[in-house]
Amino acid sequence: MGIAFDPSNKAFHLQAGDTSYIMQIFRSGYVAHLYWGKKVQAANMPRKLTFLDRAFSPNPDPSDRTFSLDTLPQEYPAYGNTDFRAPAYQVQLENGSTISDLRYRAHRIYKGKPRLKGLPATYVEHEAEAETLELILKDELIGLQVTLLYTVYEKWNVIARSVRFDNLGSERIKLLRALSMNIDFRDADYEWIHLPGAWARERYIERKALQTGMQSIESRRGASSHQQNPFIALLRKDTNEDAGEVYGFSLVYSGNFLAQIEVDQFHTTRVSLGINPFDFTWLLAPGESFQTPEVVMVYSDQGLNGMSQTFHELYRTRLARGVFRDRERPILINNWEATYFRFNEEKILQLAKAAAELGIELFVLDDGWFGKRDNDKSSLGDWFVDRRKLPHGLKGLAQHINSMGMQFGLWVEPEMISVDSELYRKHPDWCLHVPNRPRSEGRNQLVLDYSRQDVCDYIIETISNVLKSAPISYVKWDMNRHMTEVGSAALPPERQRETAHRYMLGLYRVMDEITSRFPHILFESCSGGGGRFDPGILYYMPQTWTSDNTDAVSRLKIQYGTSLVYPAIAMGAHVSTVPNHQVRRVTPLETRGHVAMSGNFGYELDVTKLSDKEREQVKEQIAFYKQIRRLVQFGTFYRILSPFEGNEAAWMFVSEDRSEAFVAYFRMLSEANAPLSFFRLKGLDPNKNYEMIGSGEVYGGDELMYIGLNAPTRRGDFLSAVWLLKEWR
């Protein structure tokens, strides 16, 4: 591992895990991108940068008609001095000009990885785990210094990039665009993948060929969103789950983002990612700096599974933080789908008692416990308990639930305000809004203006008081609408377009403060399900409610798509009732269990209404999950059959020492007289024998991986089967 600079050819050679990344300082200080991919020993560069006299690609140096930035592969390109492709950044000066010109000035190489001020980012626990390069570029005319940060991890094929802008000049500089990274690949023989979706059908996988011109995804919603996830990957046409090259890009950010891929006239591919420049500017006064969010870049030559496994391990161990990072997570029950807003203490205690008897470890009280919130029309912002429903307060309730042997958890939605709330009557200017315009509501609520320090301070104190008031072990932090009329009463006109990003900085500060004040509380994030399932939030809250859609069949796609980037331990997955509340589908309890236990397991239904038979089944599910929990939450995940491609889905988890595995298979619709189906396992040790727990059958790891397992032949829709394998000696 490491970062080397060769002064003879001015090349930087970064090695991360099994990869190389090569850049060269070219001519008068341009930073050229030469290579990223499988590791090479030395950066001798047989492929020298080649230039031809290209029509309509102008020349910054008039004495050389072959050289144009338009054909130079770059690390952080500007617009306006001969490159016509999309720039990575753009600034505006006080004279109105938007031209700038960055050249290499210096660099620093050091062990470890710096923190990014005010932003979530991957980290190291020991300096030796990573090395960092800072490339310092400058536009001398305007005193703008831009530092490109690259961190390479020793253990993984991971490079983390971000950019810092420092205004060292004497006039104000407006950032119009400040993306976090750019890479110019030398060809365009790729396909690309992203994870579009919607509420209740998040992160569906789309894969398509690159085309000449621009292809992009973005969010303008003030959140990373259900509609797109801040992730894209480039992959070769023959890349599949297990073989072939993939380049994954994941932005550690929870707000508006842009990920774009531009294929130019010479079939090179420009990939860039960062804060969405749409409706964004940032004023940098002399002496001020701006730090972009981080992009985590993963290379795999072992297909999509290889890429995902790297993201999973990195995000599970070097993005998520706190005591819960390495701890098995509790099996929870949430009352939302059981009661919605219609509950009182008696009902909650009945649910809790039944849940405790089943072996559930944590009871989560969802929306409706505060203010006068009998429906979604009021009370967000009024974070005090509703004694009509809970006469003994949160404390009384939590203690009672604790006495049943369960922990107690609570739902909050601290970024929102209801118009019908005491808080709004007192502070009508505390929400995002613009002067003299109506304030559009979503789910009857407005968004608190987290770009304001006073609002954030108020929320930190108010939520802290709630969390202090009772023995609370878990918090579900929700966020249920996107931003409109984005503006802040606390910012001057020239800074209004900073509001959305300032909101994210405020949110990160609030989350950081609250989670560090309450390190013993497990935080789960949520945004109408998986509307903010992104690496930014995972830095503060190590698990996320994957989707409001709890239907087992829908969840196959949602969890499979989510697994492209995010580990199973981060995915809240609950067994709910039938007919399912989102799609009205009736699926077997067994299948619902198998889908949910492929993630961070829980229940979300009225357990007092289970039949005796169901109760026994649920007890067994819970006992079984306790057996496989370590495997699912900390094992290596392999996708086997894709629900996006056919009628079946399968995946498996393998323990680190490959002594144990959990395999799950699902078939959606039953077919008459169907062909026989089988699938091959992955990731086992070919030299080990494995016993199938339950049947006692013993097979070699080689047999299971090369010959495969028969899928069940039972009839019936929405069927599932699982296997627990243990090394047999």
User: Are 281 and 498 contacting, i.e. CB atoms less than 8 angstroms apart?
Assistant: yes
Task: Determine if residue 694 is left, alpha or beta; phi over 0 gives left, psi from -120 to 50 gives alpha, anything else beta.
Answer: left
Binders in 449-468 for ligand GLA, by CB under 6 A: none
Judged by CB, which is closer to ligand GLA: 76, or 533? 533
Judged by CB, which is closer to ligand GLA: 79, or 343? 343
Judged by CB, which is closer to ligand GLA: 24, or 227? 227
Residue 571 touching ligand GLA (CB under 6 A): no
Residue 414 touching ligand GLA (CB under 6 A): no
Sheet of strand 698-700, all strands in order from the earlier edge strand to the far edge: 636-641, 648-654, 660-667, 719-727, 689-692, 698-700
Across 190-217, b (16+ Cβ under 10 Å) vs e yields: bbbbbbbbebbbbbbbeeeebeeeebbb
Q: What is the dihedral of CA 49, 53, 59, 64, to 10 degrees?
A: 80
In whole angstroms, the minimum distance from the beta carbon of 518 to ligand GLA comes to 20
Site track 333-362 with ligand GLA (rule: CB under 6 A), x = hit: ---x--------------------------
- Tell me the pairing of strands 522-525 and 474-477: parallel
In whole angstroms, the minimum distance from the beta carbon of 421 to ligand GLA comes to 15
In whole angstroms, the minimum distance from the beta carbon of 545 to ligand GLA comes to 6
Judged by CB, which is closer to ligand GLA: 15, or 334? 334
Residue 264 touching ligand GLA (CB under 6 A): no
SS3 339: helix
In whole angstroms, the minimum distance from the beta carbon of 1 to ligand GLA comes to 41
Residue 139 touching ligand GLA (CB under 6 A): no
Binders in 527-566 for ligand GLA, by CB under 6 A: 528-529, 545, 548
User: Are 83 and 76 contacting, i.e. CB atoms less than 8 angstroms apart?
Assistant: no
Applying CB under 6 A, which of residues 411, 518, 625, 723 lies at the interface with ligand GLA? 411
| Cα separation, 62 vs 68, whole angstroms | 10
| Cα separation, 93 vs 421, whole angstroms | 44
Judged by CB, which is closer to ligand GLA: 202, or 367? 367
| Cα separation, 186 vs 247, whole angstroms | 14
* Residues near ligand GLA (CB under 6 A), total: 11
SS3 180: strand
Q: Which residues are annotated as catalytic? A: 478, 548
Distance from first CA to last CA of the chain, Å, rounded? 38
In whole angstroms, the minimum distance from the beta carbon of 580 to ligand GLA comes to 14
Task: Determine if residue 656 is left, alpha or beta; phi over 0 gives left, psi from -120 to 50 gives alpha, anything else beta.
Answer: alpha
In whole angstroms, the minimum distance from the beta carbon of 341 to ligand GLA comes to 8
Judged by CB, which is closer to ligand GLA: 361, or 478? 478
In whole angstroms, the minimum distance from the beta carbon of 546 to ligand GLA comes to 10
Residue 366 touching ligand GLA (CB under 6 A): yes
Residue 367 touching ligand GLA (CB under 6 A): yes
Applying CB under 6 A, which of residues 245, 294, 449, 478 lies at the interface with ligand GLA? 478
Residue 526 touching ligand GLA (CB under 6 A): yes
Chain residue whose CB lies nearest ligand GLA: 367
Closest-CA residue to 614 (of 577, 649, 641, 645): 577
Residue ranges that bind ligand GLA, judged by CB under 6 A: 336, 366-367, 411, 478, 480, 526, 528-529, 545, 548
